Amino acid sequence: MSHPASPLALPFPAMPPIAGVEVRVARARYKTWDRCDLTFVTLAAGTTVAGVLTQSRCPSPEVEWCRKALVLGQARALVVNAGNSNAFTGDRGRQAVEAIAARTAAHAGCQPSDIFVASTGVIGVPLPIDKAEAGLDAAFTSDLCGWEAMAETIGTTDTFSKGATTTAIVDGRTVTLVGIIKGSGMIAPDMATMLGFIFTDAAVDPAFLQRAMTAANAPSFSCITVDGDTSTSDTVLAFATGAAGNTALVDDESAGADAFRAALNDLCHQLALLVVRDGEGASKLIEIAVTGADSDRSAHRIAMSIANSPLVKTAIAGEDANWGRIVMAVGKAGEPAERDRLAIRFGDTQVAEGGLALSGYDEAPVAAHLKGQEIEIGVDLGIGEGKATVWTCDLTHGYISINADYRS
């Protein structure tokens, strides 16, 4: 985390331990940095797992490994590497993942398929097996650490550590959920953000956990964008140890199922917004709410067209109320729209409706709104009931500075 902290950064919250989860970190030295870059998490026997993974057609070997392991629904350990994504590395990359899983399984006394592996960083450089194995050996004997140390260790261009927590009453028992996430650039996923890990002491059947995780992803990780680029390595995994002692959640009729789903949704929403707050070079968090669209899907596509527009993002960075760029982004989305029904607002101020600038429009309150750090843009198409909300950040010179020297 060599860059100054984002002006949108939030302090790392107090997060309780989760029974059945132990975290350790170590230095594998994947890059020439003086910091921990390997995370090793052990999970109690009986821990279930679910996850969402990148839809990139060029996924990393780690993503392919997790995709197969998720079918079994059980987990005993997690290994996360930072500084090297191991993507686009052919057989050498696959061999590295297999070696990590085998070594970790031998230490944990389980099958390699119970081990989950994720890596993030530079694409196209095989993960060095010797460094991974040395890092693992160091992690196996290192002291236990907390969530913030894990959050720091999994980061790459992140400027602050990201975590969130919440609770729910399930079957008469209080269950706790915590999550950490990393992500700052290459954020516009179809499923999740860069790397995120959720842990709960609730007892949850893996099939139900997968359904809940998939549902929680849709309005959170799949509704954020920083730069319009989807990573080869996007992975969000949820682990449930069952230590809370509730009757296992198996379907929506289980006691506390709704409460658990609500808590998971809230946690994912918190984590997703933390990523946007740390968007590379970001100075403003932007919420884009689209209503009156032909369908929810159409509204989402239009919202993302606005959120990914460099012209919109740079206008917000310059605090310029150039709503014509929003009209442009709506029109290019390829979704149903009628120019003469379109309405646009910044914050609480309507600036256009009926396809025209609002008569008597005063730009002063909009200019004041744009000077803040949290910006709201509302678009109503006036043709249906579809709606969607997405989040992005502005585009500044800082984004170029960070990405121009990413490999150095």
Task: Give the residue numbers marked as catalytic.
Answer: 193
CA distance 212 to 207: 9
Measured CA to CA, the distance from residue 380 to residue 386 in angstroms comes to 10
Q: Which residues of 177-199 are buried (b: 16+ CB within 10 A; e: fewer)?
A: bbbbbbbbbbbbbebbbbbbbbb
156 is in an annotated binding site: yes
152 is in an annotated binding site: no
Alpha-carbon distance of 85 to 60, in angstroms, equals 7
Query: Is residue 313 marked as binding?
Result: no
Task: Give strand ranges (E) for 275-319.
Answer: 285-293
Q: Which residue has the tokens 């009931």?
A: 385
Does residue 280 have a known ligand-binding role? yes
Residue 338: Cβ-neighbour burial (10 angstroms; 0-12, 13-18, 19+):
exposed
Question: How would you class 298 by CB atoms within 10 Å of its CB: exposed for 0-12, middle for 13-18, buried for 19 or more?
Answer: buried
How far apart CA 186 and CA 122 sit, in angstroms, is 12
Q: List residues forming the annotated binding site for substrate.
A: 156, 182, 193, 280, 403, 408
Q: List residues forming the annotated binding site.
A: 156, 182, 193, 280, 403, 408
